[in-house]
A and B are shown apart, each in its own frame.
Chain A
Amino acid sequence: AQTVTQSQPEMSVQEAETVTLSCTYDTSESDYYLFWYKQPPSRQMILVIRQEAYKQQNATENRFSVNFQKAAKSFSLKISDSQLGDAAMYFCAYRTFYNQGGKLIFGQGTELSVKP
Protein backbone atom coordinates (compact mmCIF):
# COMPACT_ATOMS: atom_id res chain seq x y z
CA ALA A 1 0.00 0.00 0.00
CA GLN A 2 1.10 3.51 -0.71
CA THR A 3 1.92 5.90 2.10
CA VAL A 4 2.75 9.60 2.27
CA THR A 5 4.74 11.16 5.09
CA GLN A 6 5.20 14.81 5.99
CA SER A 7 7.72 14.92 8.80
CA GLN A 8 7.42 18.64 9.58
CA PRO A 9 4.19 19.33 11.51
CA GLU A 10 4.99 23.07 11.60
CA MET A 11 7.23 25.43 9.67
CA SER A 12 7.80 29.15 9.84
CA VAL A 13 9.16 31.62 7.30
CA GLN A 14 9.83 35.33 7.19
CA GLU A 15 7.85 37.31 4.65
CA ALA A 16 9.71 37.55 1.30
CA GLU A 17 11.96 34.62 2.21
CA THR A 18 11.98 31.10 0.74
CA VAL A 19 10.76 27.99 2.52
CA THR A 20 10.80 24.31 1.58
CA LEU A 21 8.23 21.79 2.81
CA SER A 22 9.21 18.12 2.77
CA CYS A 23 7.26 15.09 1.66
CA THR A 24 8.28 11.48 1.19
CA TYR A 25 6.18 8.64 -0.11
CA ASP A 26 6.34 4.92 -0.54
CA THR A 27 5.03 3.05 -3.57
CA SER A 28 5.91 0.12 -5.78
CA GLU A 29 4.32 1.77 -8.81
CA SER A 30 6.39 3.44 -11.49
CA ASP A 31 3.76 5.84 -12.76
CA TYR A 32 1.73 8.11 -10.48
CA TYR A 33 0.79 11.68 -9.69
CA LEU A 34 1.92 13.80 -6.78
CA PHE A 35 0.14 16.89 -5.54
CA TRP A 36 0.45 19.72 -3.08
CA TYR A 37 -2.78 21.18 -1.69
CA LYS A 38 -3.09 24.29 0.44
CA GLN A 39 -5.70 24.67 3.17
CA PRO A 40 -5.99 28.22 4.53
CA PRO A 41 -8.04 29.04 7.63
CA SER A 42 -11.14 29.16 5.42
CA ARG A 43 -10.78 25.35 5.27
CA GLN A 44 -11.03 25.27 1.48
CA MET A 45 -8.66 22.73 -0.13
CA ILE A 46 -6.82 24.47 -2.97
CA LEU A 47 -4.64 22.71 -5.52
CA VAL A 48 -1.17 24.26 -5.57
CA ILE A 49 0.80 22.09 -7.96
CA ARG A 50 0.85 18.68 -9.63
CA GLN A 51 3.73 16.49 -10.77
CA GLU A 52 3.54 13.49 -13.08
CA ALA A 53 6.08 10.82 -12.13
CA TYR A 54 6.93 10.10 -15.75
CA LYS A 55 8.09 13.69 -16.26
CA GLN A 56 11.65 14.45 -15.24
CA GLN A 57 11.09 18.18 -15.28
CA ASN A 58 10.02 19.65 -11.96
CA ALA A 59 6.64 21.36 -12.00
CA THR A 60 6.44 25.09 -11.31
CA GLU A 61 3.51 27.42 -10.73
CA ASN A 62 4.48 31.04 -10.23
CA ARG A 63 6.21 31.24 -6.83
CA PHE A 64 5.67 27.54 -6.13
CA SER A 65 7.99 24.83 -7.42
CA VAL A 66 8.74 21.25 -6.54
CA ASN A 67 11.88 19.18 -6.21
CA PHE A 68 10.86 15.72 -7.38
CA GLN A 69 13.40 13.01 -6.65
CA LYS A 70 11.85 9.79 -7.95
CA ALA A 71 14.57 7.41 -6.84
CA ALA A 72 14.54 8.85 -3.34
CA LYS A 73 10.70 9.03 -3.34
CA SER A 74 10.88 12.62 -2.26
CA PHE A 75 8.60 15.50 -3.31
CA SER A 76 9.33 18.82 -1.66
CA LEU A 77 7.53 22.12 -2.21
CA LYS A 78 9.47 25.35 -2.42
CA ILE A 79 7.68 28.64 -1.87
CA SER A 80 9.67 31.66 -3.00
CA ASP A 81 9.08 35.27 -1.93
CA SER A 82 6.70 34.12 0.82
CA GLN A 83 3.61 36.22 1.36
CA LEU A 84 1.28 36.53 4.34
CA GLY A 85 -1.40 34.83 2.28
CA ASP A 86 0.75 31.71 2.02
CA ALA A 87 0.08 30.94 5.69
CA ALA A 88 -1.90 27.70 5.66
CA MET A 89 -1.79 23.96 6.15
CA TYR A 90 -0.09 22.23 3.24
CA PHE A 91 -0.84 18.65 2.28
CA CYS A 92 1.17 16.38 0.05
CA ALA A 93 -0.85 13.72 -1.78
CA TYR A 94 -0.30 10.70 -4.03
CA ARG A 95 -2.52 9.18 -6.70
CA THR A 96 -2.00 6.17 -8.87
CA PHE A 97 -1.64 6.86 -12.57
CA TYR A 98 -3.54 3.86 -13.89
CA ASN A 99 -6.96 4.46 -12.37
CA GLN A 100 -8.58 7.67 -13.54
CA GLY A 101 -10.80 7.72 -10.50
CA GLY A 102 -8.14 6.64 -8.04
CA LYS A 103 -8.22 8.00 -4.52
CA LEU A 104 -5.79 10.50 -3.12
CA ILE A 105 -3.53 9.39 -0.30
CA PHE A 106 -2.61 12.30 1.91
CA GLY A 107 0.20 13.09 4.28
CA GLN A 108 -0.50 14.46 7.73
CA GLY A 109 0.06 18.07 6.72
CA THR A 110 2.53 20.86 7.51
CA GLU A 111 1.28 24.07 9.03
CA LEU A 112 3.14 27.04 7.60
CA SER A 113 3.20 30.38 9.36
CA VAL A 114 4.52 33.54 7.70
CA LYS A 115 6.02 36.26 9.86
CA PRO A 116 5.77 39.89 8.72
Chain B
Amino acid sequence: DAGITQSPRHKVTETGTPVTLRCHQTENHRYMYWYRQDPGHGLRLIHYSYGVKDTDKGEVSDGYSVSRSKTEDFLLTLESATSSQTSVYFCAISASLAGLTDTQYFGPGTRLTVL
Protein backbone atom coordinates (compact mmCIF):
# COMPACT_ATOMS: atom_id res chain seq x y z
CA ASP B 1 0.00 0.00 0.00
CA ALA B 2 1.56 3.25 -1.15
CA GLY B 3 -0.71 5.37 1.05
CA ILE B 4 -2.22 7.60 -1.64
CA THR B 5 -5.62 9.22 -1.34
CA GLN B 6 -7.45 11.49 -3.75
CA SER B 7 -10.28 13.90 -3.09
CA PRO B 8 -12.95 14.25 -4.18
CA ARG B 9 -13.56 10.85 -5.71
CA HIS B 10 -16.36 12.14 -7.91
CA LYS B 11 -17.22 15.65 -9.00
CA VAL B 12 -19.70 17.22 -11.39
CA THR B 13 -19.14 20.84 -12.31
CA GLU B 14 -20.14 23.37 -14.91
CA THR B 15 -18.14 24.78 -17.78
CA GLY B 16 -16.09 27.80 -16.79
CA THR B 17 -15.79 27.04 -13.10
CA PRO B 18 -12.44 26.40 -11.39
CA VAL B 19 -11.87 22.95 -9.94
CA THR B 20 -9.15 21.68 -7.62
CA LEU B 21 -8.31 18.04 -7.12
CA ARG B 22 -6.17 16.94 -4.21
CA CYS B 23 -3.67 14.12 -3.92
CA HIS B 24 -2.34 13.22 -0.50
CA GLN B 25 0.43 10.77 0.37
CA THR B 26 1.64 9.66 3.77
CA GLU B 27 5.16 8.37 3.03
CA ASN B 28 7.15 11.49 2.01
CA HIS B 29 7.79 10.32 -1.53
CA ARG B 30 9.64 12.88 -3.61
CA TYR B 31 7.98 12.36 -6.99
CA MET B 32 4.27 12.86 -7.57
CA TYR B 33 2.29 12.84 -10.83
CA TRP B 34 -1.10 13.71 -12.26
CA TYR B 35 -2.42 11.65 -15.18
CA ARG B 36 -5.72 11.69 -16.99
CA GLN B 37 -7.39 8.63 -18.47
CA ASP B 38 -9.57 8.80 -21.55
CA PRO B 39 -10.92 5.99 -23.74
CA GLY B 40 -8.48 4.99 -26.46
CA HIS B 41 -5.59 6.93 -24.91
CA GLY B 42 -4.53 5.02 -21.85
CA LEU B 43 -3.15 7.40 -19.22
CA ARG B 44 -1.40 10.62 -20.18
CA LEU B 45 0.77 12.79 -17.96
CA ILE B 46 -0.56 16.26 -17.10
CA HIS B 47 2.03 17.56 -14.62
CA TYR B 48 4.52 16.12 -12.20
CA SER B 49 6.50 17.26 -9.18
CA TYR B 50 10.01 16.37 -8.08
CA GLY B 51 9.88 18.18 -4.75
CA VAL B 52 8.19 20.93 -2.79
CA LYS B 53 7.52 23.84 -5.17
CA ASP B 54 9.28 21.94 -8.00
CA THR B 55 6.89 21.04 -10.81
CA ASP B 56 7.00 20.51 -14.54
CA LYS B 57 4.61 20.01 -17.43
CA GLY B 58 3.60 16.76 -19.02
CA GLU B 59 2.21 16.11 -22.47
CA VAL B 60 -1.35 17.37 -21.84
CA SER B 61 -0.80 20.34 -19.50
CA ASP B 62 -2.86 23.03 -21.28
CA GLY B 63 -5.67 24.27 -19.05
CA TYR B 64 -4.17 22.78 -15.89
CA SER B 65 -1.95 24.10 -13.14
CA VAL B 66 -0.44 22.39 -10.11
CA SER B 67 0.99 23.30 -6.76
CA ARG B 68 3.00 21.48 -4.14
CA SER B 69 3.54 23.49 -0.97
CA LYS B 70 4.04 20.42 1.22
CA THR B 71 5.66 17.08 0.47
CA GLU B 72 2.45 15.19 1.13
CA ASP B 73 0.04 17.20 -1.01
CA PHE B 74 -0.08 17.73 -4.78
CA LEU B 75 -2.95 19.84 -6.08
CA LEU B 76 -4.29 19.90 -9.63
CA THR B 77 -6.35 22.92 -10.67
CA LEU B 78 -8.50 23.30 -13.73
CA GLU B 79 -8.52 27.05 -14.07
CA SER B 80 -11.72 27.21 -16.12
CA ALA B 81 -13.18 23.77 -16.66
CA THR B 82 -14.22 22.71 -20.17
CA SER B 83 -16.14 19.67 -21.37
CA SER B 84 -12.93 18.27 -22.89
CA GLN B 85 -11.57 17.95 -19.35
CA THR B 86 -14.22 15.41 -18.44
CA SER B 87 -12.04 12.47 -17.54
CA VAL B 88 -10.75 10.24 -14.80
CA TYR B 89 -7.77 11.75 -13.01
CA PHE B 90 -5.11 9.67 -11.31
CA CYS B 91 -2.43 10.74 -8.92
CA ALA B 92 0.71 8.63 -8.65
CA ILE B 93 3.91 8.51 -6.64
CA SER B 94 7.27 6.96 -7.42
CA ALA B 95 8.39 4.64 -4.68
CA SER B 96 10.62 1.72 -3.91
CA LEU B 97 8.38 -0.97 -2.49
CA ALA B 98 8.56 -4.75 -2.24
CA GLY B 99 12.02 -4.84 -3.81
CA LEU B 100 11.05 -2.75 -6.85
CA THR B 101 12.84 0.59 -7.09
CA ASP B 102 11.43 3.71 -8.69
CA THR B 103 8.06 2.26 -9.57
CA GLN B 104 4.88 4.30 -9.86
CA TYR B 105 1.88 3.52 -7.70
CA PHE B 106 -1.51 5.06 -8.23
CA GLY B 107 -4.25 6.59 -6.16
CA PRO B 108 -7.88 5.49 -6.54
CA GLY B 109 -8.75 8.11 -9.16
CA THR B 110 -11.22 11.01 -9.39
CA ARG B 111 -14.02 10.97 -11.93
CA LEU B 112 -14.68 14.54 -13.09
CA THR B 113 -17.63 15.50 -15.26
CA VAL B 114 -17.83 18.98 -16.77
CA LEU B 115 -21.31 19.88 -18.02
Chain A contacts to B: CB under 8 angstroms? 4, 33, 35, 37, 43-45, 47, 50, 91, 93, 95, 100-101, 103-104, 106-109
The smallest beta-carbon distance between B40 and chain A, in angstroms, is 6
CB contacts between A and B, total, < 8 Å: 53
Interface size counted on chain B using CB atoms at 8 A:
26
B30 at the interface (CB under 8 A from A): yes
Known contacts A43-B88, A50-B100, A108-B40; A103/B105 CB under 8 A: no
Known contacts A43-B108, A44-B109, A45-B90; A100/B102 CB under 8 A: yes
Give chain B residues whose Cβ lies under 8 Å from the Cβ of A35: 103
Give chain A residues whose Cβ lies under 8 Å from the Cβ of B74: none
Q: Which 5 A-B pairs have the closest CB atoms?
A: A106-B42, A45-B106, A101-B31, A103-B45, A106-B43
Give chain B residues whose Cβ lies under 8 Å from the Cβ of A47: 100, 103, 105
B109 lies within 8 A of A43 (CB): yes
B109 lies within 8 A of A104 (CB): no
Known: A44-B108, A91-B43, A101-B48. 13 other contacts (CB 8 A): A33-B102, A35-B103, A44-B109, A47-B100, A50-B100, A91-B42, A100-B94, A100-B102, A103-B33, A104-B43, A104-B45, A106-B42, A108-B40
The smallest beta-carbon distance between B8 and chain A, in angstroms, is 14
B58 at the interface (CB under 8 A from A): yes
Give chain A residues whose Cβ lies under 8 Å from the Cβ of B103: 33, 35, 47, 50
